[in-house]
Amino acid sequence: MAARAPAPLGRQLAWVVSAIFFFALVGVEAIHLRSTRASLQRQLESLAQDAATSLGLSLGVLLRGGDAALAETVINPAFDRGHYARIEYLGPAGERLVSRSLSPVQGRYPEWFAALLPLHAPTAESLVSGGWRQLGRVQVTVHPRFAYEQLWTTARDTLIYLLFIYVASLLALRLVLRDLLGPLAAVETAAQSIAARQFVTLRLRPSTRELTRVVEGMNALSRKVNDAIEAETRRAEKLQDAAYRDQVTGLLNARGFSARFQSSYESDGEPFSGVLALLEIGELAAVNRRLGAERCDALLREICAACQETAASAAGFAARWSGAQTVLVLPRLDADAARQGLAALRQEARAAMKRAGVARQDRIACGAVETRDGSVSLRHLAAAAEAALLQARESADGVVVLRTAPPPPEAARPAAEMLALVAEALGAQRVGLAAQMVYRVSDHRALHTEILARLRDAAGREYRAAEFMSALGAQGLHEELDRAVIERVLAEASAELLPISVNLSIRSVERETFVQWLLGRLRHEPAASRLVFEMAENAVVRNESACAAFARALDATGTGMALDNFGIRRDSLALAQRLRPAYIKLAGAHTAAMVYNSGARFYAESLVAAARQLDIPVIAQSVEDEAVFQAIAGLGFAGYQGNLGGRPSAWPVKV
């Protein structure tokens, strides 16, 4: 049985203080009633004795002749006052001469009250004498009804006053506790945030010394950890710049460009479709000698900034491909639009050279290639762009755009055929699943299983995501594939003992209908706590607000979200700090570079250290052989994934 969560401190204090105050009020009421009851009892006894004495004296004066009728005229007025239960006048021999008694009458008080606080009805006696002769005696028994009524009124009024005081005291206690414990609630929230690696600073000054010291200590801790994280983040950014950025222009270098292109388009994400262009500044060495290094660098920065602006306008990016060449990714442009944009860019570059004092500005050439086939790799696109650049050097306007990139050596299905296959496979539910294990670096124990989508044609041949993602995106079928994969995973999850990760498309997450469907499926799914949904960093950046809302919704179901192909952007760590994923997977391009590039290793080590401060495990992807594993072994990675641990295989395993 799960332990019951403890009650909040404020509630516990309120209960304890109110209970103590309640028992104190009950005690006050009991003592007051006991004292009042004793006082009334004494008054009853005194009243009985006074009445008996008074009647005895009056009868002694009036009854010297022994007239009983006269005695009754004396007794009746006293009895009619109603305070007496019985008055009797007895003769010398004990005979009853006059007797008056009151029939039982319920007073204005409840019977249980009289039973709870009983009052004794006292009887007093007085002798009646005339001179030296004894004429008899008078017995008076007091009726306690009026005493009960007075006691009941006193008890009721006292209880009302005490209850009013009790309620007013509780309200005052609530206000006091709110003022005293308000800072404590803020401290509790801050402690939970720190436990979640969100290092907040409390901006309050409690009125109590102890809480003030706690707040100061927590703020000091948050500042120190924040400073450590920021220092690691800055170090990681510097190392990333050194390894993947050109120090002159600030653009990505060739290595950084390859890593970003591979992460964005050559993983299981959406393949590249658009234009890849190269801009070349001819005879750059001569320009450098003529202008000097400083002025030449300023010219390069101006031209590269124009290249970056042109690429960004087409939702792409630029990088310094070599000393004299800049590469541009233009995913939203076709050949005609790219030609116009590159011609304008060339004119802008020529104007910059003229302003810098370069005599000849016609040595700038632009070569580009358009592709709509997602299976074409960066290597083949770059080769085609180089071929276009050769033609551009000899052309009149200096711009050449090839409309079709050469196909890769391996055969691929024609685009129209792949479009039909994707639609048919999804419609016929021919969705297969493959799995690849993620292992712990320290002891090679399995950490979790990543599920990979496959589509099968009518003949049973399977296609990897990289082969059909372009056709899938062209038809807008990301949500249909994600739903089919998730349904299959949930149906087979009981056969998998390890946690399971599933890749999701940003196109699906951006659709409210898909998110609500998924949350509804997960709320009643026992395996939800073992599921993690992975999203590529580039996809998350495209719509961070939707991904953040999606991550919060997943938390409510016990499911996690992770970042895949991580570390490509300069602000990657800031993104991880905002989203707090279950883990991050370093992009495979970084992993491969660690074997031969010390800068890539230093960057990975710094990134892992910063992520550890945030309590986010880092997993290395594309660990294909022992050399790559040895490169990452001592850097602090929590796990690794790649063909070294086994190629993807059918899931679930049929026994």
CA distance 194 to 443: 30
Give the β-pairing of 560-566 and 584-586. parallel
**Closest C-alpha among 374, 340, 371, 373 to residue 274:** 371
- Collapse the DSSP code of 143 into the 3-class scheme (helix H, G, I; strand E, B; otherwise coil) and give the result: coil
Q: Per residue in 425-447, pLDDT tens?
A: 888 889 999 999 999 999 999 99
CA distance 580 to 587: 18
pLDDT of residue 443: 92
- Collapse the DSSP code of 454 into the 3-class scheme (helix H, G, I; strand E, B; otherwise coil) and give the result: strand
Residue 388 corresponds to which tokens in the numbers above? 């276009």
Q: What angle do CA 138, 139, 141 make, to 5 degrees?
A: 145
Q: Per residue in 340-396, pLDDT tens?
A: 999 999 999 999 988 988 877 778 999 999 987 666 778 888 999 999 999 998 888
Residue 412, pLDDT > 60, answer: no
Mean pLDDT, range 147-175, rounded to an integer: 84
Q: Which residues contact 605 (CB under 8 A, 6 or more apart)?
A: 635, 636
**Closest C-alpha among 485, 575, 568 to residue 262:** 568
Q: What does residue 112 show for φ and ψ, rounded to 5 degrees?
A: -65, -30
Give the β-pairing of 500-503 and 446-456. parallel
CA distance 268 to 466: 5
Q: Per residue in 554-609, pLDDT tens?
A: 998 999 999 998 988 878 888 888 899 999 999 888 888 888 888 888 888 888 98
Q: Which residues contact 28 (CB under 8 A, 6 or more apart)?
A: 162
Beta carbons within 10 angstroms of residue 625's beta carbon: 11
Which residue ranges form the domains of the chain, and what is each CATH number? 9-167 (3.30.110.200), 245-402 (3.30.70.270), 415-650 (3.20.20.450)
State the amino acid at position 219 in one-letter form: N
**Closest C-alpha among 455, 478, 615 to residue 535:** 478
Burial of 63 (0-12, 13-18, 19+ CB in 10 A): buried
pTM over cut 0.95? no
State the amino acid at position 563 in one-letter form: L
